[in-house]
Amino acid sequence: MVCAELGLCSSSVLIEQPKGTDNNVECDLCKEVIQKVADMVKDQRTE
């Protein structure tokens, strides 16, 4: 997974997050961007 390689999503090892922090925002955003890029490549309508 690209996002895990970039360090934006955790690997299969679960680490307890400190309370009051939300590191999932970067992970969710990365997944969304990767999905959009994959869709664009699949559609082959990119310039």
- Give the residue numbers spanning the domain of 10: 1-45
pLDDT digits (tens, 9 = 90+) for 16-42: 655 555 567 888 889 999 999 888 888
Q: Does residue 9 contact residue 31 with C-beta atoms inside 8 Å?
A: yes
The larger pLDDT score, comparing residue 27 to residue 12, is at 27
* DSSP collapsed to 3 states, 1-47: CHHHHCCCCCCCCCCCCCCCCCCHHHHHHHHHHHHHHHHHHHHCCCC
Indicate the number of domains in the chain.
1
| The pLDDT of residue 35 | 92
